[in-house]
Amino acid sequence: MSKNKLRIGVYGLTGCAGDQLTILNCEDRLLKLFETVDVRSFLMAKSDNLEEELDIALVEGSVSTRSDEESVINIRQRTGSLVAIGICACFGGIQAVFTEPEEWAKQYEQVYGNRSVSSNAALQSRPVKAFVKVDYYLPGCPIHKEQFLALLSRLALGSTPEFHRAPVCLECKWQENDCLLNKNVLCLGPLTTAGCGAICPTCNLPCVGCWGPFEEANCWSEWNLLLDKDYDRNIIMQKMKSFSGTGFIQFFNTMKKERT
């Protein structure tokens, strides 16, 4: 281990481990990667994992339990930079689907009853940034390995990683696709962060939003457009909630107020 190498750790909170698997899936480039950086902790890749100071921590998954919360606070205290990888870490993922706090408490009671849970109690799922400072975000469900390698190379060279600041529609245009919305298909491209290369619309399938909410998304515009196309309000809502985690909370809250 060289003192000059970046010390990195890869961690998983509540998620499917797909982002960690994507890193492992770098296959031929993985050995080179492990030579370039000093991997101090990566439970899925090695057994001698050390809980010590890091330069970069890559964190997958949302904070959904008390032990997730303790882990992410501990990781933040030990690392120079923290990168949220995958939409669970970036936005909360499917498990952070928009739910009223009272509704969540009701669901919790249905599952656990009145029993007190002494350790690792479930929390209403939230993205990493709800608990600690996040320096960089690498969305995707799962992340794209080329984008991961590009991010790590940038950080290893001491430069700032570049991110997509556009919706999926932009990449869809680059592919010269006919817009699915014009064919009355419920596509969430305008609300979704670019990065996947618009894979689904290119295959004539609508975007369901798996790269997470685009920060400048105009939810009202998409909502009204889909209503004009005679889509049912509940269907639109369900689609918009699926992958947006905590990203569109403001929109859903405004919507709720307007309906009461």
DSSP state of 19: H
State in angstroms the smallest separation of the CB of 64 from ligand SF4.
22
State in angstroms the smallest separation of the CB of 207 from ligand SF4.
3
If the CB atoms of residues 120 and 224 are measured against ligand SF4, the closer one turns out to be: 224
If the CB atoms of residues 97 and 156 are measured against ligand SF4, the closer one turns out to be: 97
Query: No. of H helices and E strands in the chain?
Result: 11, 7
Binding site for ligand SF4 (CB under 6 A): 168-169, 172, 177, 179-181, 187, 189-190, 192, 196, 198-201, 207-211
If the CB atoms of residues 54 and 200 are measured against ligand SF4, the closer one turns out to be: 200
State in angstroms the smallest separation of the CB of 17 from ligand SF4.
18
Burial class (CB in 10 A: 0-12, 13-18, 19+), 148: buried
Classify each residue of 190-202 as buried b or exposed e, where b means 16 or more C-beta atoms within 10 Å of its C-beta.
bbbbbbbebbbbe
Query: In angstroms, how far apart are the furthest CA atoms of the chain?
Result: 62
State in angstroms the smallest separation of the CB of 78 from ligand SF4.
32
If the CB atoms of residues 21 and 43 are measured against ligand SF4, the closer one turns out to be: 21
If the CB atoms of residues 99 and 177 are measured against ligand SF4, the closer one turns out to be: 177
- Residue of closest CB approach to ligand SF4: 189
In DSSP notation, 37-102 reads SEEEEETTT-S----S-EEEEEEESBEEEHHHHHHHHHHHHHEEEEEEEHHHHHH--GGG----HH
For the packed helices 249-259 and 219-228, what is the interaxial angle rounded to 10 degrees?
50
* Token code pair at residue 25: 């899936």
Q: Which residue has the tokens 């990683």?
A: 161
Closest CA to 169 of 183, 181, 160: 181
Residue 143 and residue 19 in contact, taking contact as beta carbons nearer than 8 Å: yes
State in angstroms the smallest separation of the CB of 249 from ligand SF4.
20
Residue 18 and residue 86 in contact, taking contact as beta carbons nearer than 8 Å: yes
If the CB atoms of residues 54 and 180 are measured against ligand SF4, the closer one turns out to be: 180
State in angstroms the smallest separation of the CB of 209 from ligand SF4.
6
If the CB atoms of residues 6 and 180 are measured against ligand SF4, the closer one turns out to be: 180
State in angstroms the smallest separation of the CB of 253 from ligand SF4.
24
